[in-house]
Amino acid sequence: MVSLNKSEYKLAPSILREYDIRGLVGQTLTENDAFVIGRAMATILNKKYKITAPKIVVAYDGRHSSPLFSSFLCEGLCVSGCEVIEIGCGPTPLLYFTVEYLASNAGIMITGSHNPPEFNGFKFVVDGKPFYGPSIKELGVIVERQDFLEGKGSIVKKDLSGAYIESLLNLCGSLLPNKVVWDPGHGATAEIIKTLIDRLPGQHILVNGSIDGAFPSHHPDPTIPENLNEIISIVKQKNYDLGFAFDGDGDRIGVIDELGRIIWGDQLLALLARDVLVDYPGGSIIADVKSSQVVFEEISRLGGMPIIWKTGHSCIKDKMLELSAPLAGEMSGHIFLTITGLVLMMLFILHLDC
């Protein structure tokens, strides 16, 4: 068990960000930090949300530091009375899926997202809603005071990747036999995609398809054009229909069309709105302030209600809940649907001829 000096422990203020916790491994973010973050989250769930013996799902990305962070985090949750389900390495959408699938109270994703390998951090979901802003600050205060709940929890390991893949395939139905290049960038989506494309019609090429937290091929950020050069080249040379790229934890997407052109986040949102608004006529479609005017005009033309909102995945998710919006997106490549996960790609493939 981790032993802490009650009078001295404090999280580095710089890691307590608006939407998550993130820092430099071994410098501003340590394994002991993971332990006390677990204890603080368990305390918040009990005292603020009034959840006794909360069930909480923990997952982590492919960074070399992530498994150890997960071990310390899970221990902190356990000694403060949580029932912990550790699902191992996988993308953030898998965590969200598992939280709902197991009817859990909360989820924590250990990830540095699209940042270089020396970064890591934590994203949270509680009671089906984003956990951010003042809640992150509150967690930091509880750590500083070490006013932790004591308890005796449990830790179990489960693999829900198969159920996740089956859910995606069931939601998508019949798909066009397209030729697609996939680049998980050695990130946490790699194994999921490898299994998924074996079940899809068409022809598929997987590059950088092993999980490697050093990201040896390129930086895991699909919003930077040079990180898409490899799949652009393959799409053009082999006359493929599409290319997909992902960030380190699989919640940002980059899309390449058949001519090797990048389809930016706002353009992708406008394309997806065509299909979503068929099922949700007049629905609110949310785009962040960085999006172009074209996307708002296209949503209006399609009969939807365009909503401009502040950047930040937690802010966008809150607004979606407020408006019961079926679709939202950011220029960063975050796409939010009422059905979560990689389904956005399937929708895009399915209606490629629109």
Nearest to 179 by CA among 239, 93, 109, 256: 239
pLDDT of 176: 84
Q: How far is CA 198 from the centre of its chain?
A: 23
Identify whether the C-beta of residue 120 lies closer than 8 Å to the C-beta of residue 67. no
DSSP letter at 10? -
Distance (Å, whole) CA 198 – CA 161: 14
What global pTM score does this model have? 0.91
Identify whether the C-beta of residue 309 lies closer than 8 Å to the C-beta of residue 329. no
- DSSP class per residue in 34-66: HHHHHHHHHHHHHHTS--SS-EEEEEE-S-TTH
Which tokens hold the place of 142?
Answer: 């509880």
Q: Where are the beta strands (DSSP E) in 111-159?
A: 119-126, 129-130, 154-157
Catalytic position from the list 113, 284, 314, 332: 113
Q: Is 66 a catalytic residue?
A: no
Distance (Å, whole) CA 63 – CA 219: 13
Q: Average pLDDT of each block of 10 consecutive residues along the chain (354 residues)?
A: 67 95 98 98 96 97 98 98 98 94 97 94 94 94 95 97 90 83 96 94 96 95 95 98 94 94 93 89 93 93 94 84 91 76 44 40
Listed by start position, the domains of the chain span 13-159
Architecture of the domain whose range is 13-159: 3-Layer(aba) Sandwich (3.40)
- DSSP class per residue in 232-249: HHHHHHHT-SEEEEE-TT
